[in-house]
Amino acid sequence: MKYILEVNQLKKEFKDFKLDSISFKLEPGYIMGFIGPNGAGKSTTIKLIMNLLKKDGGEIKVFGKDHIKHEKEIKDRIGFVYDQNYYYEDLTINQMRNIVASFYSKWDDKQFNHYMSQFNLNPKSKIRTLSKGMKMKFSLAIALSHHADLIIMDEPTSGLDPVFRREILDILYDIIQDENKSIFFSTHITTDLEKIADYITFINDGKIVFSQSKDKILESYAIVKGGPELLDDSTRKKFLGLRETKFGFEGLTDDLDLFKRNFGDRVLIERASLEDIMVYSVRG
């Protein structure tokens, strides 16, 4: 099995949104960040991978197998964390654990109890009474307690404080030390990805903008800054995204050499962050 997750030409159409033949691949042992603005298609893609939504076309393979033909076997090896709590609110943590544990072939109570104490969760607490962060911790504890080989997370860090966000990232980093495991997670907090992701897939308006290694992306893109006198119509077209003020401009490019050649020292070139890439690409 070369790829732990393969999405090929995946299509899904709704009344007001279309996921347009998206493709990307994730190898074992890596973390892939799935970024994009709200409504870009991140949650739709994750729901399609989990077969919660039915695809209109294309192919999804998990662990080298079709995700529908081998659904049960595949889901036994996936840990999932969603952007909101879908667990039964009337139950206690312990009751919910009892329910979920019966479905997995490799459920590990020891591991679950370890995360319960690490996250300071009381097994007798009702899920309804947990804060957003605590609910996320609980979801994460469930996802990590059945020896999953692929962890799929939809916006796991949104709405969480920086301390807990860092705690989650550290745990994910630990998991990935096992080279057979992979993590696929969507987020719009791109700074989280800059810390731990190996690959970045950027989706915008239902289309994949890029799916590459993080280092290559950060090498390929740059922010160019300069005075307003340098801009003309042909120069403007060479930016992927441009912000102009009366004092100057700031733009994103993936053709750094062109700007170096044409403007030399008259422009300031800076490293683009993932957030810059996302913001400029979306706004244009």
Residues that bind other proteins (CB under 8 A): 47, 50-54, 71-73, 75-76, 78, 80, 82, 86-88, 90-92, 95, 98-100, 102-105
- Using the minimum distance from each CB to other proteins, give the nearer residue, 60 or 224: 60
CB of 93 or CB of 272, closer to other proteins: 93
Rank residues 47 and 207 by Cβ distance to other proteins and give the closer one.
Answer: 47
Comparison of 102 and 120: residue with beta carbon closer to other proteins: 102
The tokens of 179 are what? 């080279």
- Which amino acid type is present at position 275? E
Contact (CB, 8 A) for 3 and 25: yes
C-beta closer to other proteins: residue 72 or 237:
72
Of the pair 47, 225, the CB lying nearest other proteins is at 47
CB of 94 to other proteins, least distance (A): 10
Taking phi first (over 0 means left), then psi (-120 to 50 degrees means alpha), and beta for anything else, what does residue 248 get? left
Residues 92 and 126: beta-carbon distance below 8 Å: yes
* Gap between the Cα atoms of 89 and 14, Å rounded: 30
Q: In the complex, what is the shortest distance from the CB of residue 182 to other proteins, in angstroms, rounded to a whole number?
A: 17
User: Please, what is the minimum distance in Å from the beta carbon of residue 17 to other proteins?
Assistant: 13
Q: Report the nearest approach of other proteins to the CB of residue 239 (Å).
A: 39
Q: Which is nearer to other proteins, 72 or 246 (CB)?
A: 72
Query: Please, which residues have CB within 8 angstroms of residue 56's CB and are 6 or more apart in sequence?
Result: 11, 12, 13
Shortest separation between residue 99's beta carbon and other proteins, angstroms: 5
Tokens 């690959």 correspond to what residue?
199
Comparing CB distances to other proteins, the nearer of 54 and 237 is 54
Tell me how far, at minimum, the Cβ of 52 lies from other proteins, in Å. Answer: 4
Q: What is the C-alpha separation between 238 and 14, in angstroms, rounded?
A: 34
**266: DSSP letter:** G
> CB–CB of 269/282 below 8 Å?
no
Backbone region of residue 72 per phi and psi (left: phi > 0; alpha: psi in -120 to 50; beta: other values) = alpha
Closest separation between CB of residue 228 and other proteins, Å?
A: 50
Query: Cβ of residue 171: shortest distance to other proteins, in angstroms?
Result: 20
Buried b / exposed e across 246-263, counting CB within 10 Å, b at 16+? Answer: eebbbbbbbeeeebeeee
- Neighbouring-strand partners of residue 249: 226, 244
Q: How many CB atoms lie within 10 A of CB 240?
A: 17
Burial class of residue 124, CB neighbours in 10 A (0-12, 13-18, 19+): exposed
